[in-house]
């Protein structure tokens, strides 16, 4: 069985999508439609912009979404998923690719999400850090201890065994990193992000996005979508919608999501979009299992 997976923020790079734009008329038309919907030429930033321009949340999220969805569309009949999933932002790409969400609605929601998150980041400074080489339970315990002392820090992204990203206020994340190093973490790396994604500090963005999501029509996807909030397969449009709303302040349970796909019979994972980050994570999660193919398109 084949699973198509879609990356999130951080996978962007200058030049992303340019080859698709220049070689596929269908892709070019969709890119131009996106420029029209967004009200600015995001393609100019994607193809020629600086790294600093591209990493602005209001640009990054629609850019990664566009590259991912258009890559899937350009595959034509080769895009035949038995299941789909996406990492954080990538869940929106997966929903559009699987037919649960119209492309234009998906782009508008992603742009609304990006703007709401940018606003939340500016209102309350936050950060994230990757913790390498510790059991999830140890990271969770330290985050709970720091939070109990008045800070805000949570386990945000369960990326793969031995790699968990924490998120919260700058001070609390710094304190948690110090304690996690003392607890045996190989590394505790601050991430170059503008805020505390997938933490309680994103509540204002969640409230803002909830209204937009509730006003958008969702359909049953053509195949199960595995969602971040619980790592499980879903096909009910109303449940999918509620999980998408919860996602902004909830942990991204990517490890559990991939494990669920493997348990459901996935034997081939295809990363659809910029970068190769998900391929590396999936290779670690599926280590020890035979005949598992992990590739890009």
pLDDT digits (tens, 9 = 90+) for 276-291: 999 999 999 999 898 9
Given this chain, do its domains 2-122+200-296 and 125-190 carry the same CATH topology? no
Is residue 246 within 8 A of residue 227, CB to CB? The reply is no
Active site residue 251: no
266 Cβ neighbours under 8 A, 6+ residues apart = 1, 2, 3, 82, 83, 292
CA distances from 208 to 87, 119, 124, 201, 202 (A): 21, 10, 16, 13, 10
Q: Which of 68, 88, 93, 251 is catalytic?
A: 88
Q: Which pLDDT belongs to residue 242? A: 96
Q: Which of 198, 234, 251, 260 is catalytic?
A: 198
Active site residue 147: no
Is residue 74 within 8 A of residue 23, CB to CB? The reply is no
Q: Which pLDDT belongs to residue 194? A: 77
CATH fold group of domain 2-122+200-296 = Malonyl-Coenzyme A Acyl Carrier Protein; domain 2 (3.40.366)
Is residue 146 within 8 A of residue 175, CB to CB? The reply is yes
- For the chain, the residue count is 297
Torsion angle of C-alpha atoms 8, 9, 14, 16, degrees rounded to 10:
20
Written as one string, the DSSP assignment of 130-194 is: EEESS-HHHHHHHHHHHHHTT--EEEEEEEETTEEEEEEEHHHHHHHHHHHHHTT-SEEEE---S
Q: Which pLDDT belongs to residue 269? A: 98
Per-residue pLDDT of the chain (297 residues; tens, 9 = 90+): 999 999 998 889 999 999 999 999 999 999 999 999 999 999 999 999 998 899 888 899 999 999 999 999 999 999 999 999 999 999 999 999 999 999 999 999 999 999 999 999 999 889 999 999 999 999 999 999 999 999 999 999 999 999 999 999 999 999 999 999 999 999 999 987 878 999 999 999 999 999 999 999 999 999 999 999 999 999 999 999 999 999 999 999 999 999 999 999 999 999 999 999 999 999 999 998 989 999 998
Distance CA 243, CA 239 (A): 6
Domain ranges of the chain: 2-122+200-296, 125-190
CATH fold group of domain 125-190 = Alpha-Beta Plaits (3.30.70)
């Amino acid at each position: 069985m084949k699973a198509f997976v879609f990356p999130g923020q951080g996978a962007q790079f200058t030049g992303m999508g340019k080859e698709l734009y220049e070689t596929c008329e269908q892709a070019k038309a969709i890119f131009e439609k996106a420029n029209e919907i967004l009200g600015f030429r995001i393609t100019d930033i994607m193809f020629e912009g600086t790294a600093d321009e591209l990493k602005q949340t209001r640009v990054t999220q629609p850019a990664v979404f566009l590259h991912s969805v258009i890559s899937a569309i350009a595959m034509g009949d080769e895009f035949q998923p038995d299941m789909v999933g996406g990492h954080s932002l990538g869940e929106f790409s997966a929903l559009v690719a699987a037919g649960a969400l119209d492309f234009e609605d998906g782009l508008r929601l992603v742009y609304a999400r990006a703007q709401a998150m940018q606003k939340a980041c500016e209102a309350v400074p936050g950060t994230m850090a990757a913790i390498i080489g510790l059991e999830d339970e140890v990271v969770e315990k330290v985050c709970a201890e720091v939070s109990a002392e008045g800070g805000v820090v949570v386990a945000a992204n369960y990326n793969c065994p031995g790699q968990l990203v924490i998120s919260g206020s700058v001070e609390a994340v710094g304190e948690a990193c110090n304690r996690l190093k003392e607890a045996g973490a190989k590394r505790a790396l601050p991430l170059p992000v503008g805020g505390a994604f997938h933490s309680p500090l994103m509540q204002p963005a969640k409230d803002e996005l909830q209204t937009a999501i509730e006003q958008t029509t969702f359909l049953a996807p053509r195949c199960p979508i595995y969602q971040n909030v619980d790592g499980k397969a879903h096909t009910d449009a109303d449940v999918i919608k509620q999980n998408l709303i919860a996602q902004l302040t909830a942990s991204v349970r990517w490890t559990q999501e991939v494990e669920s796909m493997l348990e459901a019979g996935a034997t081939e994972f295809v990363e659809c979009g910029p970068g190769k980050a998900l391929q590396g994570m999936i290779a670690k999660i599926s280590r020890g299992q035979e005949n598992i193919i992990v590739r890009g398109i």
